[in-house]
Amino acid sequence: MALLYFGRDVLIPITLAFIFSFLIAPFVRALRHLGLGQTTSVCTGVLVVTVTLLAIGAVIVQQVGVMGASLPQYQDTIASKIETLDELTRGTLGSLGGPAGQLIDHLTGENADGPAPVLQADGSAKTPVLVEIHEPALKPFQLLGKVAASVWPPLETAGIVFVVLIFVLLEHESLRDRFIRLAGGGDLRATTIAVNDAGERLSRFFISQFLVNLATGLAIWLGLSLLGLGQALLWGTMTAVLRFIPYVGVWMAAFCATLLAAAIDPGWSTALMTLGLFLAVEIIVAQTIEPKLYGHTTGLSPLSVVVSAIFWSWIWGPVGLVLSTPLTLCLVVAGRYIRALKVLEIMFGELPALTMPQNFYQRALSGDAHEIVTSAKRYMQHKSLAEYCDGVLLPALHLASFDFKDGSITPQEEEKVSNSVIAVIEALSGSVKWWRKRKRNTVLKRGGIGRELREQRISASGEWQGSFDVPAGSVVLSIGLGSSYAELATEILVRILREQKIDARSRNLDELDQPAPPGASPELVSIVVLVSVDPLNDCEQMTTMLAALHERLPHAKHFALLLPSPFENPDLKTCVFPNADHVSRSYDDVLHSCQLAMKGRSTL
C-alpha cells in the first residue's frame, strides 16, 4: 500500500496506459488486418483516442461555461424553492452553517441590504463601512505562469499516459512473451492459453462497457433534449463518463441534472421527469443490455466492487475511483489463471467460494436443512431430481463419508449431518413431514440413514412397500451391496424412480435368503438394479450376485449401478460384469435405462 500511495504519480499514468491498451488493442489489430503497418496502426489508434478525449473535454468545458453564464437568471426560482423547502422542513435548511448555510442565505436574499447598524455606547447607531481588498493586477508573464502552473500537471500526466500507451501497443507481443516467461515458463502451452484468454476477456469487457456507457449518454442527451432541459449534451456526456464509477456514478450526474431542472422550472414537473428519465434508462441498461453483452455483472461480487472503489479512491483519489472496477477485474482474472493469486479470485470473484456439494456438506454440519432444501429446489427448477443427486447430493455424501472414516467428525456433528440428509431427501421426494424435529441419536441406533429412510417409507406404503396386485413386469427391485452407505444410495435410487411413477422397491442382502412375501411372484419384477458405492472392492461380490440373480430371475433385466467417489477417480476398467444387461455410472443414466426398458416391455 505504501508503494501504491507514494508511487501514485508514476503508477497512475502507467495503469491508465495499460487499461487504454486493452480498449485499443482490438482496433489496432483490425487496422493491421487491413494492411497497415504496426507503427501506423498504433499511431492511428492513439490518435483516435486523443481526438475523442479532447472532444469530450471541449464539450464539457463549453457546456459548463454556458451553464455558468445562465445561472444568475435562475436565482429567483432557486430562492423561491429553497424557501418552500425551508418551510416544509420547519427551518432546517435555514439553520445550516458553513458554506451551505452561507449559500442559502445569499440565494434567499437574507442580509442582502448590507450589514445591520451597530448600536454605540451613547445610544447612537453607526453603520459599518464595507472594505474590499484588491490585489494588484498581474503582469502578462505572471498570468501566463499561473495558468501554466495550473494546466501543467494534467498535461504532464496525459503526456506520460500516451507515450507509455504507444510503447505498450508497439511491444504488445514482446510484453506478452515476457509475462508468459515470468508466470509459467515451465508449462508454455497452458500459460499461453491463459494469457490470451485473459487478454481477450478484459478487452471484450472494456469495449462492451465503453459502448454501453456511450449509448447511455446518448439516450440521456436525447431524452433531456426532448424535455427541453438546457445543457442536455453536458449531462449526456457526464453520464457516459461518470458511469465508469460503479453504482454511484450515474446518480451523481442524475442529481446534478435534476438540480438544474429544478432551478429552471418554477414547478417540479421538469425535475421529476428528469429524475424519471435517468431511472428508466438505468434500469433498462442495467437489467437488459448489460447482461446480454457481458453478463449480469462484471464477474465481481457486489461487495468487492464497493470495497475496491473505497480502497482505490483512498489510494489514488478520483482516478482510483474510476479505475477501481477495471483494476479489480484484472486482479480477479489473474487469480483465475495464476495459482499464487488464486486468493484474489476467491475473495473478489463472483463465483461461489464453495462448490455445491461442499456447500451442502457445510450446511449439513450446521444442521441447516431448510437452506439446503431451498437451494436444491432452485437447482431443480431446471434440473431433475436424478441430476441433483448425481451432481450435488452424492458428492456431498462422499465428502461426509471421508470424515466418518477418518473419525474427524464429532458425534454431535454426525447427528446433524444425518438428520439434515434425511430431511433433505424426504423433502425432495415429496414428504410433507420433513421439517419436523427429530429425536437425537435415532439414526445411529437404527443402523444408518438409508435404513431410517427405508423404514419411514415402509411405514407409509406398507410392509412390502406396496401391493402385489400389480401387472407382471411392473416392479423395479433395487439391492445395495456392502455398507450402510450403499443402503442409502439404494434408497435414493428408489425415491428417484418412484418420483417418475415407477414402482421401485428395495431389498437388503440379508432379506434375499428369506422366504418370498405372501402373494409375491418372480414375474412381477422386470428390472433388478445392484447398487455399489465402492465398485473396486465390490466387484467380485457384484459379479457373484448378478450370476445368482440371473438364475433366480431369468426373465428380468439386470443392471449394475456404480457410484464411486468423484474425488478419487478410480479406474473401473477391470470391473467387467458379463451378466449385466447395462452398467450405469449415474442415477440419471439408470433412470433413463429403466424408463426405456419399462417402455419396451409395455409395448411387448
Asked if residue 75 belongs to a domain, the reply is no
Same domain, 15 and 158: yes
Burial class (CB in 10 A: 0-12, 13-18, 19+), 488: buried
Whether the CB-CB separation of 481 and 531 falls below 8 Å is answered with yes
Number of separate domains in the chain: 3
pLDDT in tens, 175-205: 777 777 776 656 666 667 667 766 777 777 7
DSSP 8-state secondary structure symbol assigned to residue 558:
E
Same domain, 173 and 48: yes
> Could you say which residues of the chain have pLDDT below 50?
110-112, 296-297, 432, 434-446, 604
Asked if residue 377 belongs to a domain, the reply is yes
Same domain, 389 and 516: no
Q: At residue 476, what are phi and psi to the nearest 5 degrees?
A: -110, 120
Same domain, 476 and 589: yes
Whether the CB-CB separation of 337 and 198 falls below 8 Å is answered with yes
- How far apart CA 410 and CA 415 sit, in angstroms, is 9
Burial class (CB in 10 A: 0-12, 13-18, 19+), 481: buried
The C-alpha cell 464453495 sits at: 354
pLDDT in tens, 129-170: 667 776 676 666 666 676 666 667 777 788 888 888 888 888
Question: Is the model's pTM score more than 0.85?
Answer: no
Whether the CB-CB separation of 237 and 60 falls below 8 Å is answered with yes
Same domain, 566 and 503: yes
Which residues, including other chains, have CB under 8 Å from residue 10's CB and lie 6 or more apart? none
Tally of residues, the chain: 604
Q: What is the pLDDT of residue 442?
A: 42
Same domain, 421 and 566: no
Name the pairing type of β-strands 125-126 and 118-119: antiparallel
Q: Report in angstroms the alpha-carbon separations of 413 from 140, 320, 400, 402.
A: 83, 47, 10, 14
* Domain extent at residue 44: 1-68+147-183
Same domain, 408 and 468: no
Opening angle at CA 390, ends 381 and 548, nearest 5: 135
Which residues, including other chains, have CB under 8 Å from residue 203's CB and lie 6 or more apart? 22, 23, 25, 26
Q: Where are the alpha helices (DSSP H) in 409-448?
A: 411-428, 442-446
DSSP 8-state secondary structure symbol assigned to residue 389:
I
Burial 127-151 (b: 16+ CB within 10 A, else e): eeeeeeeeeeeeeeeeeeeeeeeee
Asked if residue 162 belongs to a domain, the reply is yes
Q: What is the pLDDT of residue 218?
A: 92
Same domain, 568 and 509: yes
Q: At residue 118, what are phi and psi to the nearest 5 degrees?
A: -105, 130
Same domain, 583 and 475: yes
Beta bridge partners of residue 560, listed in sequence order? 530, 583
- How far apart CA 438 and CA 456 sit, in angstroms, is 13
- How far apart CA 231 and CA 256 sit, in angstroms, is 12
Q: At residue 542, what are phi and psi to the nearest 5 degrees?
A: -65, -40
Check which CATH number belongs to the domain holding 545 and give it.
3.40.50.280
Asked if residue 403 belongs to a domain, the reply is yes
